[in-house]
Amino acid sequence: VIAQPLPEPTQQPPRVLVVDDEPQIVRALKVVLREAGFQAVAAETANEALDLAAVRPPEAAIIDLVLPDLDGIELTRRLREWSEMPILVLSAVGEEEQKVRALEAGADDYITKPFGTRELVARLHAALRRSARAEEEPSIVVDGLEVDLASRMVRRAGEPVHLTPIEFDLLRALVRNRGRLMTHRKLLTEVWGPEYVEDIQPLRTHIARLRAKIQPEGAAGPRYIVTDPGVGYRFAG
């Protein structure tokens, strides 16, 4: 699905910390991740994971929400205290609230068990790309959509698109964090300010208008801005 250029063969493959207390899952993930060009480092507990990450920081982490010692949310928070590495959390249906809390604690994305490993690898690549873009980009071009952050211009297939300031700020927040699932709260804080974190309804309205303006002709379903029901939005591209 994602034809991502792998790192140079001479280089060490990127290390991914896999934290799950189900050894069977870890065993299988090791093979799957190696196949995708990563090297999995397994930890069964949050404390083991913290130790491993401190000794040799991995390039990314995949963390199960349910761990025997600390939960995945706390582990995410502790890793975020000193690292910007992409973090994916594994969750199950029915753990919506923990999922949102993990994202707010700094996780980039989540994936629901049982997951297809291709989906997992794609999300991992997207998150790694996001973290690789450390410095400010003046303009972003994604799949026919051009967002010029410096001059606040948006073009779709070369045609200028007129956005209101709020719509532009929303798009900018999503685009700059592509590869990361933005929760409602995060978007509201970033665009409107921390005092508006509960106003989800206006956010929905603005997202709907923004989508309508940047949507390519004849596209079925949302093209760039993907809804994660009850959690937030992500920019797909």
Partner 1 sequence: MPSPFGLLLSPNPPSRRTGALVALVAVGLSTLIVYPLKHVAPVGSLSVVYLPAVLVVSISWGMWLGYATAVLSALAFNFFHLPPTGELTIRASSNWVALIAFLVVAALASSLAEVTRARTRDADERRREADLAAEMARLLLRGDDLAEALPTAAARLAHTLELSSAAIEMDAVEADERSVAFPLREGTTRLGTLLVGAGTSEANLRRLQERVVPALESLLSAALERESLLGGVVETAALRRADTVKTALLRAVSHDLRSPLTAISAAGEAVGSPSISQAERQEMAIVIQEETQRLSRLVDNLLDLSRLEAGAAAPRRHPTSIEELIGVALGELSSGPEDFSLSIDPDLPLVNVDAVQMERAFVNVLENARRHSGGHPVSVRARAVRSLAGSPRPAGDRVIVRIVDRGPGIPPAQLERVFEPFYRAGTPGGEHRGSGLGLAIARGFAEANDGSLYVESLPGQGATFVFELPLEAAGAEAGADESTGLAGASRAVRGAAT
Minimum separation from the CB atom of position 107 to partner 1 (A): 18
Which of 2, 6, 7, 27 touches partner 1 (CB under 8 A)? 27
Compare residues 44 and 59 and give the one whose CB is closer to partner 1: 44
Which of 25, 70, 149, 200 touches partner 1 (CB under 8 A)? 25
Minimum separation from the CB atom of position 152 to partner 1 (A): 44
Q: How far is CA 234 from CA 7, 52, 160, 182, in A?
A: 26, 30, 23, 6
122 is an interface residue for partner 1 by CB under 8 A:
no
How far is residue 127's CA from residue 97's CA, in Å, rounded to a whole number? Answer: 22
109 is an interface residue for partner 1 by CB under 8 A:
no
192 is an interface residue for partner 1 by CB under 8 A:
no
93 is an interface residue for partner 1 by CB under 8 A:
yes
70 is an interface residue for partner 1 by CB under 8 A:
no
Strand locations in the chain, DSSP E? 15-19, 39-43, 60-64, 87-91, 109-112, 139-142, 145-148, 153-156, 159-161, 182-183, 225-228, 232-235
226 is an interface residue for partner 1 by CB under 8 A:
no
Q: b vs e for 163-194, b when ≥16 Cβ sit within 10 Å of the residue's Cβ?
A: beeebbbbbbbbbbbbbbbbbbbbbbbbbbee
Minimum separation from the CB atom of position 32 to partner 1 (A): 5
Tokens of 92: 């199950």
Please report, as a single letter, which amino acid is at residue 135: E
- Interface positions with partner 1 (CB under 8 A): 21-25, 27-29, 31-32, 34-35, 44-45, 66, 68-69, 90, 92-95, 113-118
